[in-house]
């Protein structure tokens, strides 16, 4: 009986899958938490209070049917739980791993509000779909009858891949172009394996290839073709290129060797994980082994850099952030993981200059204090006079966030409208850019965001592109 299986949140405590010991996990790039066994997943799902208006679903960008698949899990109906969870998401096992659940579904669970600890929604979601892959329940993409119309998707990140899957299901010919040699976007080359193991991403890509989606990798729009050339080839285009222009630091010595960009560093590390030859890693420039590492920034990217440096065998790893712990953008869960693994956080501190003639040898920094709130409502950091200090460093990683590249110039399409932040301007109702039949989704529209929002955009934009192509086909008939 359903009711017997549910509402166990008072008698049964919250239990996430056990994390491996910090010393052990710092030795490899495997995910840090074990997976639930079947009885644990069922027991944790049974803590759900089955709210009439589930705030978890409301605050999940995909509006996943969370209480329903938790109930199916608690009742041992795992295949049905998987099917339901999969019905609203193209990558549930990926979201289960890397969504900041504390700010989304779990952060809005009523059991959390009542002090009992949220249902471990993300871990159950990951469990259900991993189980489905193990059991062979994950079916091939069901490709609809051919429509004779084709779509070009620029960017094989979560937004592009999700749209490609839905459009292929609708029977379109789908071509995905990406400048990298592997699909997946930041899932493949940004996010490290200890948060998301790469075979999880690659099996999703393989499923799309098996469905007849054609991947054109190492193909850069702007270099290998202009946007206009692509428009001539396809009935409609989706731009899902993400944001890749790294924010800089203006400080003396910032150009010294050994001061590197976060994404270059993370990409090199992820490539080594695939077994690729990476000259800039192999010659030591992007390898933290034996070095004193200072990472500058307080977001998810900075957290990924510090924890990667620990795994590469750094002599010390410090994270310099200009605000305090309570005001950082990165996930508190990731800060706790980093601290357990040996990272030292230097809060309320910002770089002033980088020492070293041929190569960086240290960071001159200043203590900061928080002033009045700025336009965003966050308290603006300002230099605390007299608080200068110095840190030894042989590798400095800049992780200050990303902005949009100048796509109109890169794509040779001056008519492509952008916002004042450089992100693509789209019609709020149709997700179409200023160019007829050219749509956009994911970070290139939102600015740096989250995987789950990219998936949501991919789902929405596929529906808009479908409507547009049907109208086009009707006119042509
Ligand atoms: C280090 C790091 C860690 C993160 N951790 C998390 C996390 O834990 N949880 C979370 O939810 N989010 C995280 N994010 C954010 C998340 O990865 C992004 O929001 C998400 O990947 C955006 O998806 P997207 O499809 O819009 O773009 P992307 O994933 O960036 O994919 C865009 C693709 O377009 C390709 N491309 C770009 N320009 C061209 C061109 N001219 N021609 C052809 N191809 C092109 C790129 O090669 C790339 O493959 C993290 C981001 C970073 C940088
Ligand atoms: S997709 Fe993310 S926010 Fe939605 S239920 Fe899964 S983990 Fe929670």
Task: Report the separation in Å between the CA atom of 307 and the middle of ligand 1, taken as the mean of its atom positions.
Answer: 19
Q: What is the mean pLDDT of residues 89-103?
A: 96
Q: How confident is the model at residue 372 (pLDDT cuts 50, 70, 90)?
A: confident
Q: What pLDDT, in 10s, does the model give residues 124-173?
A: 999 999 999 999 999 999 999 999 999 999 999 999 999 999 999 999 99
* CA dist., res. 128 & res. 120, Å (int): 13
- Of 99, 191, 439, which is best to mutate to test ligand 1, by the most ligand atoms within 8 angstroms of its C-beta? 191
**Ligand lying nearest the CA atom of residue 423:** 1
Q: Residue 151: which H helix or E strand, with range?
A: strand 150-154
Position 477 pLDDT exceeds 90: no
**Using CA positions, which residue lies closest to atom 3 of ligand 2?**
60
C-alpha 400/C-alpha 348 separation (Å) is 15
Nearest ligand 1 atom, CA 161: 25
Ligand 2 contacts CB of residue 96 (under 6 A):
yes
What are the DSSP calls for 229-257, one per residue?
HHHHHSSEEEE-----EE-----TTTTSB
For residue 450, what are its two tokens? 């989250």
Judge whether residue 293 has pLDDT over 60.
yes
Counting ligands in written order, the one closest to the CA of 183 is: 1
pLDDT at 471: 93
Whether the CB-CB separation of 260 and 397 falls below 8 Å is answered with yes
129 with 96: CB under 8 angstroms? Answer: yes
Nearest atom (ligand 1) to Cα of 222: 41
Instruction: Provide the token pair at 225.
Output: 């073709």
User: Hey, what are 358's tokens?
Assistant: 């041929």
**Residues 455, 162 contacting (CB under 8 angstroms):** yes
Give the pLDDT confidence score for residue 47 in this predicted structure.
Answer: 96
More confident residue, 5 or 290: 290
CA–CA distance, 145 with 143 (Å, rounded to integer): 7
Indicate if the pLDDT at residue 5 is higher than 90.
no
pLDDT tens column, 239-279? 999 999 999 999 999 999 999 999 999 999 999 999 999 99
Q: 442 CB under 6 A from ligand 1?
A: yes
Instruction: Tell me the C-alpha distance between 54 and 47, whole Å.
Output: 14
Tokens for 232? 């001539």
Residues 6+ apart with CB under 8 A from 134: none
For the segment 420-432, what is each residue's pLDDT rounded down to a tens digit?
A: 999 999 999 999 9
Instruction: Please provide the average confidence, as pLDDT, over all residues in the chain.
Output: 95
Please report which confidence band the pLDDT of residue 1 belongs to, taking 50, 70 and 90 as the band edges.
very low
pTM attached to this predicted model: 0.96
Which tens digits make up the pLDDT trace of 29-76? 999 998 899 999 999 999 999 999 999 999 999 999 999 999 999 999
Name the residue at shortest CA distance from atom 1 of ligand 1: 301
Q: Which residue's C-alpha comes closest to atom 35 of ligand 1?
A: 155
- Checking if the pLDDT of 2 tops 80, the result is no
Residue nearest to atom 1 of ligand 2 (CA): 95
What ligand has the least distance to the C-alpha of 196? 1
Written as six digits, the tokens of 8 are: 């166990």
Provide the pLDDT confidence category of residue 3 given band limits of 50, 70 and 90: low
Nearest to 312 by CA among 345, 270, 373: 270
Helix (H, G, I), strand (E, B) or coil at 139: coil
pLDDT class for 12, splitting at 50, 70, 90?
confident
> What value, to the nearest 5°, has the Cα angle with vertex 245 and ends 239 and 246?
145
């Amino acid at each position: 009986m359903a009711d017997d299986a549910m509402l166990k949140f008072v008698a049964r405590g919250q239990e996430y899958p056990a994390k491996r010991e910090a010393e052990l996990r710092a030795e490899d790039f495997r995910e840090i938490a074990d997976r639930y066994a079947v009885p644990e997943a069922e027991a944790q799902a049974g803590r759900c209070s089955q709210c009439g208006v589930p705030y978890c679903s409301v605050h999940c960008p995909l509006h996943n049917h969370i209480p329903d698949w938790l109930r199916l899990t608690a009742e041992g109906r795992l295949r049905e739980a998987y099917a339901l969870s999969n019905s609203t998401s193209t990558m549930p096992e990926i979201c289960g791993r890397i969504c900041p659940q504390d700010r989304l579904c779990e952060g809005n669970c009523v059991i959390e509000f009542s002090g009992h600890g949220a249902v471990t929604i993300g871990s159950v979601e990951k469990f259900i779909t991993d189980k489905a892959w193990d059991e062979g329940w994950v079916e091939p993409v069901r490709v609809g009858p051919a429509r004779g119309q084709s779509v070009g998707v620029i960017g094989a990140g979560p937004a592009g891949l999700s749209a490609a899957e839905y459009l292929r299901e609708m029977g379109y010919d789908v071509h995905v172009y990406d400048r990298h040699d592997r699909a997946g976007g930041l899932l493949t080359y940004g996010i490290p394996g200890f948060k998301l193991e790469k075979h999880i991403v690659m099996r999703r890509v393989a499923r799309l290839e098996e469905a007849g989606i054609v991947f054109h990798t190492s193909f850069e729009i702007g270099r290998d073709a202009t946007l206009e050339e692509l428009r001539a080839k396809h009935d409609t285009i989706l731009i899902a290129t993400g944001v890749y222009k790294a924010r800089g630091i203006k400080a003396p010595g910032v150009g010294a060797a050994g001061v590197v960009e976060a994404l270059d560093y993370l990409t090199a590390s992820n490539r080594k994980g695939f077994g690729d030859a990476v000259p800039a890693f192999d010659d030591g420039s992007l390898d933290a082994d034996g070095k004193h590492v200072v990472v500058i920034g307080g977001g998810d990217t900075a957290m990924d850099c510090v924890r990667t440096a620990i795994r590469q065998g750094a002599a010390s790893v410090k994270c310099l952030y200009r605000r305090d712990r309570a005001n950082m953008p990165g996930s508190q869960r990731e800060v706790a993981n980093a601290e357990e693994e040996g990272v030292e956080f230097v809060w309320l501190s910002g770089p002033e200059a980088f020492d070293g003639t041929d190569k960086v040898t240290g960071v001159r920094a200043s203590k900061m204090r928080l002033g009045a709130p700025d336009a965003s409502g966050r308290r603006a950091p300002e230099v605390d006079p007299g608080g200068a200090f110095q840190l030894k460093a042989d590798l400095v990683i800049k992780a200050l966030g990303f902005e949009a590249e100048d796509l109109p110039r890169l794509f040779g399409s001056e008519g492509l409208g952008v916002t004042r932040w450089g992100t693509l301007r789209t019609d709020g109702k149709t997700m179409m850019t200023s160019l007829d039949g050219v749509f956009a989704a994911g970070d290139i529209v939102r600015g740096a965001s989250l995987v789950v929002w990219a998936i949501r955009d991919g789902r929405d934009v596929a529906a808009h592109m479908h409507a547009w192509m049907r109208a086009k086909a009707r006119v042509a008939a």
